[in-house]
């Protein structure tokens, strides 16, 4: 991540870990304050969706980093599109009674 530093790389991933923890805690509070009833597989699907979205974004930007700009945009459009559709589907599933 930071090729000229041996310190910033590990720090970056510690911060990322913290961000994920806070975002999941926040999500947990949103859910428990809402009318949505969660069970284990709904939690699992939600976490997988968010991780998949992160990987899609990382994948597209990896291709940008390789100077494969067109491939990066295609990657983000196709898989990003898939994740948006999946996200809508997931939301309907979570909110359905």
Question: How far is it, in rounded angstroms, from Cα 96 to Cα 93?
Answer: 5
Return the residue of 5, 10, 26, 47 that touches other proteins, per CB under 8 A: 26
Return the residue of 10, 14, 25, 38 that touches other proteins, per CB under 8 A: 25
Question: How far is it, in rounded angstroms, from Cα 11 to Cα 40?
Answer: 32
From the CB of 83, what's the least distance to other proteins, in Å?
11
Residue 38 is classified by DSSP as: P
Does 5 sit near other proteins (CB under 8 A)?
A: no
Number of residues forming the site for other proteins (CB under 8 A): 38
Return the residue of 11, 14, 22, 38 that touches other proteins, per CB under 8 A: 22
Residue 34 is classified by DSSP as: S
Question: How far is it, in rounded angstroms, from Cα 75 to Cα 44?
Answer: 25
């Amino acid at each position: 991540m930071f090729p000229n530093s041996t310190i910033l790389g590990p720090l970056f991933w510690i911060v990322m870990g913290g961000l994920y923890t806070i975002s999941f805690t926040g999500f947990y509070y949103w859910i428990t304050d809402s009318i949505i009833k969660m069970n284990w597989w709904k939690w699992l699907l939600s976490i997988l969706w968010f991780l998949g979205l992160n990987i899609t974004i990382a994948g597209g930007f990896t291709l940008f980093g390789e100077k494969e700009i067109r491939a990066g945009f295609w990657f983000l459009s196709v898989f990003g599109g898939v994740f948006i559709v999946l996200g809508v589907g997931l939301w309907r599933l979570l909110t359905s009674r």
